[in-house]
A and B are shown apart, each in its own frame.
Chain A
């Protein structure tokens, strides 16, 4: 009930925080995950290469 009243009193805040901030947060998390995955994969490949050189 309080949310109904609040959203009608603050429509721009509701729109900005509820949809745009959430969407941007999702994009940032996705970018962070992609970068993390790349760093992890590169590390894995380097370790494999080092192991191959030692043999």
Chain B
């Protein structure tokens, strides 16, 4: 059976679909956070070099991955909105930015907390850390630029350009540990394998999936508000049960 994907790119259809999906993603995220933390704190063994401090990576690594991927997805949606002039794409880009910024902040914050006992410093002007900080500024720049322009369509176009240009920073973050001699270590998990204990891998993977599900749930919830706001003059919004029914 062929699925008409274009149907879901219309705000009218997407609004109700997102509403149905949010509880599933939210409940799954909460359950996986609990399982991930249980494995990370009770089953995963203590690291022989870093001691208990290494357990920060179960939130630090997923947050860092999410901050980079969300930026690329945001830039992709922004580009789609710019090229095809689709309403939902620009709304999605706007909805992704705050969550991406929060993940970039969590990545920097937890990195600093790990850096203090391991490196003896909260912060160093290392290529990986600096490029991640630039990523946070790019997210904040996107949000600020979008908020500073009154006309939403013009705001979408201006911030889309910033998102697209800024996406060059993502490969810089990823490859910074290879291109430069950095204090930040390289990837522990590679295609060729890993030396990590299996429980550590499980905890990190489960926390990564939990972060993804959380991000999807919160972005879908945010985009529903943006759709409501931008389409408030249309007939279909006025016919929605939640708009008609006043509690």
Interface residues of A (CB under 8 A from B): 4, 7-8, 11-12, 14-16, 18-20, 22-23, 26-27, 30-31, 34-35, 37-38, 41-42, 44-46, 48-49, 52
Q: In the complex, which residues of chain A have a beta carbon less than 8 angstroms from the beta carbon of B228?
A: 38, 41-42, 45
**Chain A residue nearest to B246 in the complex (CB):** A46
A4-B117, A20-B59 known; 11 new pairs, CB 8 Å cut-off, are A7-B116, A11-B51, A15-B53, A15-B113, A20-B37, A22-B110, A34-B225, A38-B228, A44-B229, A44-B232, A45-B229
Q: In the complex, which residues of chain B have a beta carbon less than 8 angstroms from the beta carbon of A26?
A: 102, 105-106
Comparing B133-141, B156-164, B196-204, B214-222, the segment that makes contact with chain A is: B214-222
Q: In the complex, which residues of chain B have a beta carbon less than 8 angstroms from the beta carbon of A27?
A: 102, 214, 218
Can you list 27 A-B pairs, Cβ within 8 angstroms, ordered by A?
A4-B116, A7-B116, A7-B117, A11-B51, A12-B41, A12-B55, A15-B52, A15-B53, A15-B113, A18-B113, A19-B109, A19-B113, A20-B59, A22-B109, A23-B110, A26-B106, A27-B102, A30-B102, A31-B218, A35-B221, A37-B222, A38-B224, A38-B225, A38-B228, A41-B228, A45-B238, A48-B232
B144 in contact (CB, < 8 A): no
Q: Is there an interface contact between A42 and B59, defined as CB atoms closer than 8 Å?
A: no
B242 in contact (CB, < 8 A): yes
CA distance A31 to B199 in the complex (A): 30
**Chain B residue nearest to A52 in the complex (CB):** B238
What's the interface size class on B, roughly?
35 or more
Q: Is there an interface contact between A11 and B238, defined as CB atoms closer than 8 Å?
A: no
B89 in contact (CB, < 8 A): no
Q: In the complex, which residues of chain B have a beta carbon less than 8 angstroms from the beta carbon of A46?
A: 243, 246
CA distance A29 to B105 in the complex (A): 14
Q: Mark B41-63, 1 if CB is under 8 A from A, else 0.
A: 10000000001110110011001
Q: In the complex, which residues of chain B have a beta carbon less than 8 angstroms from the beta carbon of A49?
A: 238, 243
A7-B116, A15-B53, A37-B225 known; A45-B98 Cβ under 8 A: no
CA distance A42 to B238 in the complex (A): 10
Q: In the complex, which residues of chain A have a beta carbon less than 8 angstroms from the beta carbon of B52?
A: 11-12, 15
CA distance A45 to B243 in the complex (A): 7
CA distance A27 to B110 in the complex (A): 14
Q: In the complex, which residues of chain A have a beta carbon less than 8 angstroms from the beta carbon of B55?
A: 12, 15
- Which 10 residue pairs of A and B lie closest in terms of their CB atoms, listed nearest first? A11-B52, A19-B110, A18-B113, A38-B225, A41-B228, A41-B225, A37-B225, A34-B221, A45-B232, A19-B56
Q: Least Cβ distance of A52 to chain B in Å? A: 8
CA distance A19 to B214 in the complex (A): 17
Q: Least Cβ distance of B110 to chain A in Å? A: 4
CA distance A39 to B238 in the complex (A): 15
Q: Is there an interface contact between A30 and B98, defined as CB atoms closer than 8 Å?
A: yes
